[in-house]
Homo-oligomer: A and B are copies of this chain.
Amino acid sequence: MDISGEEVTHGTDRGPRRALDREPLGYLTAALRGVGQVDLQPRLLTGAFILAGLWAAGWRVGLFATLGTLLSTAAAYAFGVDRDSIAQGLQGFSGCLTGIALVGSLGHHPATYVLTVVGCVLCTVLTAALGTLLAPYGLSALTAPFCVVSGVIVLGAPSFARIWHGDPAPVADPTGGDPAITFTDLWHAFFGNVSQVFLVDSWYVGLIMLAGLACAGARVVLAAALGSVAGIVAAWALGAPTAQIASGIYGYNAVLVGIALGAVLLPATPWNAGYALFGAALSTGLTAAITSFFKPFDGHTFTWPFILTTWALLAAVPRLPRLRAAGATG
């Protein structure tokens, strides 16, 4: 079916907890699942752990993540989006990331609240638009609505006197530095990769989130952990600067690719596991290329390396019989 196509390609959670789906509780559980769907996980407990991690990262991050998820989920109600898709949290996750990105890039000002409202409504519209455009290929939008909306706002903001309040904290530049690495760098990187998915650089936030992923099942947390390791190994092998590896800049896309290809979108076979690790390493290399591409116009890398890697590798599956696709893409 066309409209609910996205659910098949994200994880779904259809337990006997339908009581939670009655309003207004249904709205709140949909939003909580939305926080977890950033990592492609609809489990409520996963969403709760991740939300706790975001508030632990600071009240601004927690507040705007919460607001963003609530706003884009509410917009989906208003536009009459398929209820099943809302209930699984698929209308909230781009808003979650957009809220975090906007408060991080524009600062905590009244204008940022207004832009978060507009941006989150737009996330819901773009989720629908990309759903239409990608449906013929059996692909889902992933976090692309977030990347487009936040990218456009952050790119346009400096032109506007009322929303721009001077330069934000400089974006980490993954294109130079010292490649020597210590054990502290390594375990900071391992957890930082998980928290950087949410634009947060903090090993303990990553640890809390990893605990949330563990609630979603052994395969999910294993895929996330191996993705993180693959990202670190690839970045080290390529000779990336240690500071960027340690802060998770080079590995958060690998974590997402690991979860998406290793635990959600493809069935569990040895070939597919290797393919997921290959993708995780690829996304690490792609991070440098995309950052260099965005540099002349001050664009933001966000989760583009994850999105492009996952789209390319999934689109290839139907023509690579060794890799068995899940129902949605097969």
Query: Which of A300-330 touch B at CB < 8 Å?
Result: 311-323
List, in ascending order, chain B residues with CB within 8 A of A320's CB.
79-81, 125, 128
Determine whether the beta carbon of A316 is less than 8 Å from that of B162.
no
Is A136's CB within 8 Å of the partner chain B?
Answer: yes
User: Which residue of A81, A176, A320 has the most chain B CB atoms within 10 A of its CB atom?
Assistant: A320
Is A299's CB within 8 Å of the partner chain B?
Answer: yes
| Given A152-B286, A293-B297, A297-B292: A129 in contact with B315 (beta carbons within 8 A) | yes
Nearest B-chain residue to A311, judged by Cβ: B129
Determine whether the beta carbon of A240 is less than 8 Å from that of B160.
yes
Taken together as a complex, chains A and B put the C-alpha atoms of A159 and B172 apart, in Å, by 13
Determine whether the beta carbon of B315 is less than 8 Å from that of A132.
yes
Interface of A is mostly: helix
Determine whether the beta carbon of B299 is less than 8 Å from that of A293.
yes
List, in ascending order, chain B residues with CB within 8 A of A285's CB.
152-153, 156, 160
Determine whether the beta carbon of B179 is less than 8 Å from that of A321.
no
Taken together as a complex, chains A and B put the C-alpha atoms of A24 and B77 apart, in Å, by 55
Is A25's CB within 8 Å of the partner chain B?
Answer: no
User: Which residue of A129, A286, A295, A298 has the most chain B CB atoms within 10 A of its CB atom?
Assistant: A129
List, in ascending order, chain B residues with CB within 8 A of A316's CB.
125-126, 128-129, 132
Taken together as a complex, chains A and B put the C-alpha atoms of A155 and B80 apart, in Å, by 43
Determine whether the beta carbon of B237 is less than 8 Å from that of A162.
yes
List, in ascending order, chain B residues with CB within 8 A of A151's CB.
289
Query: Which of A157-172 touch B at CB < 8 Å?
Result: 157-164
Determine whether the beta carbon of B175 is less than 8 Å from that of A161.
no
**Contact mask A2-17 → B, CB, 8 Å, 1/0?**
1100000000000000
Query: How many copies of this kind of chain does the complex include?
Result: 3
| Given A129-B312, A315-B132, A322-B78: A239 in contact with B288 (beta carbons within 8 A) | no
| Given A292-B155, A293-B299, A320-B80: A238 in contact with B162 (beta carbons within 8 A) | yes
Taken together as a complex, chains A and B put the C-alpha atoms of A289 and B149 apart, in Å, by 11
Taken together as a complex, chains A and B put the C-alpha atoms of A160 and B79 apart, in Å, by 46
A198, chain B: closest CB distance, angstroms: 23
Is A84's CB within 8 Å of the partner chain B?
Answer: no
Nearest B-chain residue to A314, judged by Cβ: B129
List, in ascending order, chain B residues with CB within 8 A of A287's CB.
156
Taken together as a complex, chains A and B put the C-alpha atoms of A299 and B295 apart, in Å, by 12
List, in ascending order, chain B residues with CB within 8 A of A159's CB.
174-176, 240, 288, 291-292
Determine whether the beta carbon of B132 is less than 8 Å from that of A137.
yes
Is A296's CB within 8 Å of the partner chain B?
Answer: yes
- Given A79-B320, A122-B282, A157-B288, list of 15 further CB < 8 A pairs? A3-B318, A79-B321, A81-B321, A125-B313, A126-B316, A128-B318, A132-B137, A132-B315, A152-B289, A155-B293, A158-B175, A159-B240, A160-B240, A164-B239, A293-B297
